[in-house]
A and B are shown apart, each in its own frame.
Chain A
Amino acid sequence: MGLTLVLLQIFLFDNIALSSYFHPLIYVAFIILLPLDTKPVWTMLLSTAMGLVVDVMTGMGGLNVIACTALGFFRPMILSAVSGHSPTGENAITGLHRFTEKIMFWYITAMVFCHSVIYFFLESLSWDHIFRTILRLLVSDIGAILFIWYFVKLFIEKILKK
């Protein structure tokens, strides 16, 4: 799945020349869809590895590693916040398939937003163009959320429920 997402990101989404505002970062679906029982250290290291692969293939100087590692680190906290349960412990939700549609939507939205805030603000490295950065972030996030939502609905949900 990780490889598919990286290939889609690099060969399809990075080549969509619609606008400089539209840059959906869909490969974060890999981090979003990691099993919930993955240990925090492995979640973070796998996220770092994903960022590193994208950085090497797109020539970005560590930007994806920074954003992905942070997302991997904060994922347990985001999961707790959107689901209301701790990812570990007695009341833990054991799998993504147990999420209601509402929780799934907010989980995807929060993860995509957390990643893209770090990515786009670090890329612009300036407060001068803050409105442009916010617009880029919103337009790109809508594209990424829609893609990941349908990716989950069409391909992943059936696999998770088995």
Chain B
Amino acid sequence: MRLIYVGLLFILIETVALNYYAHSSHYTQAKILSRANSVFGWAQSSVFGVKHFFTLRRENMELSERIAQLEGQLAVYREREANAQTDSLGFQSMDSLLHESISQYRYTTARIVQSTISHNRNYITLNRGLMHGVVEDMAVITPTGVMVGYVVGCSERYSVVLPLLNTDFRTSGKIVGDNNFGSIYWNGHSPYKVQMTELSKYAEIEEGQEVIASGLSHYFPEGIRIGYVDSFTLNENQTSYDVEIRLAANMTKLNNVLLIENIDYGEISHLEQTQGRDGEQGSQP
């Protein structure tokens, strides 16, 4: 008789858990993880700190290379500014261009305190949260400007990132020098490769070409590097390419990241929602 009760309890627990699992999304999972981080985040941070110590040498080299690259870009801007001073019209347009590029995105840095690659739904935890100005929907890139993911949950001191290596991740990408875009996702297999689908068959594509963010997703500014074309095939209907992309970032060895907030995102999102509601109301008889 007792076994019957145990059996019934087993069925009850499994039904509740299965129901919860079936309805859980990356959003609900990130919420749970954010709450857990506010309690256990310090422990994760300590463990990752030890791991981080052994990668400082490589990280310093990467940062030095990045500084050299940015110095080069800065030199170009300085030269343009000096040239523009002789042309007041040119200077004004240069100034407004710089102002626009600065005002749309806000940058901040963070350190990874936990990340996994062995699940289908992987997450990354960062040591920056609401009190540091991190908010949901911020883009996350490496210090060398390569796409990592975007923030889906924040606690006061920590935030949770939905990385490229999560089967729920979606963004829009394109081949450098081509305006056709496709949908980027991860099929859950290799931590070094993601996939792009629905890329028009008219796109000019070759192996080794760089794949970047198209800018159609509100999270990532246009031009953020994703990876390189590894292989491509036409889909079954011969209407678009399915592309295998070798990731530019080694997701297994990430330590520091940059967060980018699209300041216009809230306004765009609000506008789209308003338009959506108006459209629905307009379509009603």
Chain A residues close to B by CB (< 8 Å): 7, 10-11, 14-17, 19-23, 40-41, 44, 48, 51, 55-63, 65-66, 69-70, 73, 122-124, 129, 132, 140
> Chain B binding site: helix, strand, loop or mixed by DSSP?
helix
A58 → chain B, closest Cβ, in Å?
Answer: 7
7 intermolecular pairs with C-beta atoms under 8 Å apart: A16-B118, A17-B191, A56-B32, A58-B33, A61-B20, A61-B24, A62-B18
Query: Is the beta-carbon distance between B14 and A59 smaller than 8 angstroms?
Result: no
Q: Which residues of A contact B36 (CB under 8 A)?
A: 56-57, 59
B6 near A44 with CB under 8 A, answer yes
How far, in whole Å, are A132 and B28 apart by their CA atoms in the complex?
27
- Nearest 10 pairs between A and B by C-beta? A61-B24, A59-B33, A23-B118, A17-B252, A62-B21, A65-B17, A62-B20, A62-B17, A59-B29, A73-B10
> Across the two chains, which residue of chain B brings its CB closest to A43?
B6
A20 pairs with B190, CB closer than 8 A: yes
Q: Which of B2, B117, B187 contacts A41 (CB 8 A)?
A: B2
A66 and B117 contact, Cβ closer than 8 Å, known pairs A11-B44, A17-B252, A57-B36: no
Tell whether B123 is near chain A: CB-to-CB under 8 Å: yes
**B contact residues, range:** 35 or more
Task: Determine whether the beta carbon of B30 is less than 8 Å from that of A59.
Answer: yes
Q: Which of B17, B33, B114, B123 contacts A15 (CB 8 A)?
A: B114
Shortest A27–chain B CB gap in Å is 14
Beyond A23-B118, A124-B188, whether A40 also contacts B6 by CB under 8 A is yes
CB-defined contacts of B47 to chain A, threshold 8 Å: 11, 15
- List, in ascending order, chain A residues with CB within 8 A of B21's CB: 61-63, 66, 122
Q: Could you tell me the distance between the alpha carbons of A122 and B5 in the complex, rounded to whole angstroms? A: 26
A40 touches B3 (CB 8 A): yes
Q: Is B116 an interface residue (CB 8 A)?
A: yes
CA distance A65 to B20 in the complex (A): 10
**In whole angstroms, what is the CA distance A23 to B17 when docked?**
22
CA distance A123 to B118 in the complex (A): 11
Q: Which residues of A contact B123 (CB under 8 A)?
A: 59
Produce 1/0 per residue, B1-35, CB < 8 A to A. 01101110110011001101100100011101100
- Whole-angstrom distance between the alpha carbons of A21 and B160 in the complex? 23
Q: Which residue of A lies closest to B116 (CB)?
A: A14
Shortest distance between the CB of A97 and any CB in chain B (Å): 26
Tell me whether A62 and B118 are in contact (CB under 8 A).
no
- Contact count A vs B, C-beta below 8 Å: 103
Does B116 contact A57, Cβ atoms closer than 8 Å?
no
Contact A123 B119 (CB under 8 A): yes
B10 touches A62 (CB 8 A): no
Q: Write out the residue numbers on chain B whose beta carbons fall within 8 Å of the beta carbon of A51.
A: 17
CA distance A20 to B186 in the complex (A): 12
B29 touches A60 (CB 8 A): yes
Return A130 CB to nearest CB of chain B, in Å. Answer: 13
| Min C-beta distance of A65 to chain B, whole Å | 4
Q: Which residues of B contact A122 (CB under 8 A)?
A: 21
Q: How far is the CA of A41 from the CA of B20 in the complex (A)?
A: 22
Check B24–A66 contact: CB distance below 8 A: no
In the bound assembly, the distance between CA atoms of A56 and B29 in angstroms comes to 9
As a 0/1 sequence over residues 161 to 175 of chain B, the CB contacts with chain A under 8 angstroms (1 = contact) are 000010000000000
Residues of A within 8 A of B6 (CB): 40-41, 44, 73
Residue picked from B14, B114, B190, most chain A C-beta under 10 Å: B14
Neighbouring B residues of A11 by C-beta, 8 Å: 43-44, 47
Known: A59-B32, A69-B10. 14 other contacts (CB 8 A): A11-B43, A20-B165, A23-B119, A40-B6, A41-B9, A44-B9, A55-B32, A60-B121, A61-B24, A61-B28, A73-B6, A123-B119, A132-B188, A140-B118
